[in-house]
């Protein structure tokens, strides 16, 4: 095996040397044949993708370990099995989602007129994925794109090279290579891709590149879905059971070493609760990863030294009450909690995207709501509270991509819920039926019979 996970140079993929323009033209020609439209073609591709994940699951788990130190269990839970569940949910409901939806017709058009909507596939779509869940965040949109009857160009993240290589190897093998192309590479390759005309671009990553993607899409009037990030706050109410809060908070925050787009970014709570949370979080981290998380097979690593250096520079933003240890050679940063963090400190100025949890003290709910509303709309907002009024006020008085009470991250695993951001955290949504809407055009149809 070569270091990048490819077996040898001679296992050339069928379209490896293809230029982006040629790949798009080839897929577009195939789309025009109408072959991707029948339900049977779509469900066939989903079953093939499912087979890829079950038959090659170990290869993907190994790749994810190589890229991010993900444990096998975590790789299955958050990427491989996650995508299988998305496929199964789609297979179960696709026929029903694709059914034309009748629309009421006003009397003035006559009693014989009827109207309905149908979902048309868009054509050739581009999916650009990030490195943090490099399999799930490429494949889950691909599930929706294929289920909606499109051809797909998939661009995995170059920062997760082993997973990118596995996707480039297996996707064309399992899927119809006439309908799916994988283009590996970084900025240069993505820039070349973005010059092409797509019918939709689905981008997951940071907002700076999101702007580049949207600008490129504008030239072709191509619609975009932008799944971005930002700082997702957690409000912890007075009087909550801090042991339960800490256990759930730590599990959500330190999963994938904090490199999760919907990870709790920081905690807002009153000073008294903050004091009680500190030891509870220490205990929770111990329960998850033992006394030395570096020795735990369950704890991940930072993706690269650039992010490692960025993160360790943030450790000075507060008083370290849990963790703080790090090892550059191993790209290891301990699960860390910082107390007494000021709102204007460096750790509060950017999305952390790593295993550092700052606690910012506020007098109460009013100030927490103001704190959230004074900043960019987050991808997720979480709260731990026993009070219905607190729940209602947070729901009504704040805006975020998703809202989670009592359990971080879990909303995105509910297949019936849309997943997406608002404002700086993105635009558009996907998962389940929302993916089908994203990757289709809902066409209005009116039928007025000629004969009276």
For ligand NAD, how many residues bind (rule: CB under 6 A)?
28
Backbone angles phi and psi of 236, in degrees to 5: -110, 120
DSSP state letter for 364: S
Which position's Cβ is nearest ligand NAD?
A: 229
Residue 158 or 176: the one with the smaller Cβ distance to ligand NAD is: 158
Is residue 266 a contact residue for ligand NAD (CB under 6 A)?
Answer: no
Is residue 155 a contact residue for ligand NAD (CB under 6 A)?
Answer: yes
Residue 246 or 255: the one with the smaller Cβ distance to ligand NAD is: 255
Give whole-number Cα distances, 170 to 57, 59, 134, 156, 411, in Å: 11, 10, 14, 13, 30
Site for ligand NAD in 414-443 (CB under 6 A): 421, 426
- From the CB of 345, what's the least distance to ligand NAD, in Å? 19
- From the CB of 248, what's the least distance to ligand NAD, in Å? 20
Binding track over 309-348 against ligand NAD, x by CB under 6 A: ----------------------------------------
Residue 130 or 223: the one with the smaller Cβ distance to ligand NAD is: 130
- From the CB of 325, what's the least distance to ligand NAD, in Å? 24
Q: What is the DSSP string of 102-153?
A: EE---GGG-TT-EEEEEEEE-SEEEEE--SSSTTHHHHHHHHHHHHTT-EEE
Give whole-number Cα distances, 420 to 78, 107, 379, 436, in Å: 17, 39, 7, 14
d(CA 291, CA 185): 39
Residue 217 or 284: the one with the smaller Cβ distance to ligand NAD is: 217
Question: Residues 261, 302, 359, 360: which binds ligand NAD (CB under 6 A)?
Answer: 261
Site for ligand NAD in 201-260 (CB under 6 A): 204-206, 209, 212, 227-229
- From the CB of 358, what's the least distance to ligand NAD, in Å? 17
Is residue 300 a contact residue for ligand NAD (CB under 6 A)?
Answer: no
Question: What is the number of alpha carbons within 13 Å of residue 158 lying toward its C-beta?
Answer: 8
For residues 23 and 153, is the Cβ–Cβ distance under 8 A? yes
Q: Which residue has the tokens 């979080």?
A: 281
Cβ neighbours of 406 (radius 10 Å):
15
Is residue 159 a contact residue for ligand NAD (CB under 6 A)?
Answer: yes
Question: Residues 132, 273, 435, 440: which binds ligand NAD (CB under 6 A)?
Answer: 132
For residues 127 and 152, is the Cβ–Cβ distance under 8 A? yes
User: Strand pairing partners for 312?
Assistant: none
Catalytic pick among 227, 351, 361, 437: 227
- From the CB of 142, what's the least distance to ligand NAD, in Å? 14
CB contact set of 46 (below 8 Å; sequence gap of 6+): 87, 90, 91, 94, 143, 146, 147
Residue 293 or 401: the one with the smaller Cβ distance to ligand NAD is: 401
DSSP state letter for 377: P
- From the CB of 32, what's the least distance to ligand NAD, in Å? 28
Residue 204 or 273: the one with the smaller Cβ distance to ligand NAD is: 204
Binding track over 349-388 against ligand NAD, x by CB under 6 A: --x-x-------------------------x---------
- From the CB of 347, what's the least distance to ligand NAD, in Å? 15
Cβ neighbours of 206 (radius 10 Å):
15
For residues 122 and 441, is the Cβ–Cβ distance under 8 A? yes
HEC string for 182-197: ECCCCHHHHHHHHCCC
Q: Which tokens hold the place of 288?
A: 């998850």
Beta-strand pair 180-182/380-384: unpaired
Residue 217 or 277: the one with the smaller Cβ distance to ligand NAD is: 217
Q: Which stretch binds ligand NAD (CB under 6 A): 1-9, 58-66, 88-96, 123-131?
A: 123-131
Q: Which stretch binds ligand NAD (CB under 6 A): 153-161, 248-256, 310-318, 332-340?
A: 153-161
Give whole-number Cα distances, 350 to 168, 333, 347, 353, 378, in Å: 32, 18, 6, 9, 12
**Known active-site residue 227:** yes
Question: Residues 19, 191, 244, 373: which binds ligand NAD (CB under 6 A)?
Answer: 191
Is residue 158 a contact residue for ligand NAD (CB under 6 A)?
Answer: yes
d(CA 76, CA 59): 11
- From the CB of 127, what's the least distance to ligand NAD, in Å? 9
Q: Which stretch binds ligand NAD (CB under 6 A): 69-77, 157-165, 367-375, 392-400?
A: 157-165
Q: What positions carry a catalytic annotation?
A: 227
Residues that bind ligand NAD in the complex, under the rule CB under 6 A: 128-132, 137, 155, 157-159, 186-187, 190-191, 204-206, 209, 212, 227-229, 261, 351, 353, 379, 421, 426
């Amino acid at each position: 095996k070569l270091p990048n996970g490819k077996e040898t140079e001679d296992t050339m993929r069928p379209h490896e040397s293809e230029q982006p323009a040629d790949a798009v033209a080839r897929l577009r020609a195939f789309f025009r044949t109408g072959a991707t439209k029948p339900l049977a073609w779509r469900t066939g591709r989903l079953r093939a993708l499912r087979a890829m994940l079950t038959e090659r699951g170990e290869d993907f788990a190994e790749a994810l370990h190589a890229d991010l130190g993900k444990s096998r269990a975590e790789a299955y839970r958050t990427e491989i099995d996650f995508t299988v569940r998305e496929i199964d949910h789609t297979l179960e409901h696709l026929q029903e989602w694709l059914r034309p939806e009748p629309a009421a017709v006003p009397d003035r058009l006559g009693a014989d007129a009827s109207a309905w909507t149908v979902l048309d596939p868009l054509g050739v779509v581009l999916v650009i994925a990030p490195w943090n869940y490099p399999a799930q965040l490429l494949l889950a949109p691909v599930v929706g794109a294929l289920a909606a009857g499109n051809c797909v160009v998939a661009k995995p993240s170059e920062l997760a090279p082993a997973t990118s290589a596995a996707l480039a190897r297996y996707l064309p093998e399992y899927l119809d290579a006439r309908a799916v192309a994988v283009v590996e590479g970084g900025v240069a390759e993505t820039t070349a891709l973005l010059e092409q005309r797509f019918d939709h671009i689905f981008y997951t990553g940071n907002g700076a590149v999101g702007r580049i993607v949207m600008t490129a899409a504008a030239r072709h009037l191509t619609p975009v879905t932008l799944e971005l990030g930002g700082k997702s706050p957690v409000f912890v109410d007075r009087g909550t059971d801090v042991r339960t809060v800490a256990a759930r908070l730590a599990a959500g925050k330190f999963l994938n070493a904090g490199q999760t787009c919907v990870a709790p970014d920081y905690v807002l709570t009153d000073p008294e609760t903050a004091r009680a949370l500190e030891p509870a979080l220490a205990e929770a981290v111990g329960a998850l990863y033992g006394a030395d998380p570096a020795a735990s097979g369950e704890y991940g690593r930072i993706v690269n030294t650039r992010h490692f250096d960025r993160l360790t520079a943030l450790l000075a933003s507060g008083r370290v009450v849990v963790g703080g240890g790090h090892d550059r050679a191993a790209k290891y940063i301990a699960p860390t909690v910082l107390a007494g963090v000021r709102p204007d400190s460096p750790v509060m100025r950017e999305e952390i995207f790593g295993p550092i949890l700052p606690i910012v003290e506020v007098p109460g709910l009013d100030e927490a709501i103001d704190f959230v509303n004074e900043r960019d709309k987050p991808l997720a907002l979480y709260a731990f509270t026993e009070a219905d009024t607190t729940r209602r006020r947070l729901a009504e008085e704040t805006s975020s991509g998703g809202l989670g009470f009592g359990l971080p991250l879990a909303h995105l695993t509910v297949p019936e819920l849309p997943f997406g951001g608002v404002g700086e955290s993105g635009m558009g949504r996907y998962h389940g039926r929302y993916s089908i809407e994203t990757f289709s055009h809902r066409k209005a149809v009116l039928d007025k019979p000629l004969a009276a």
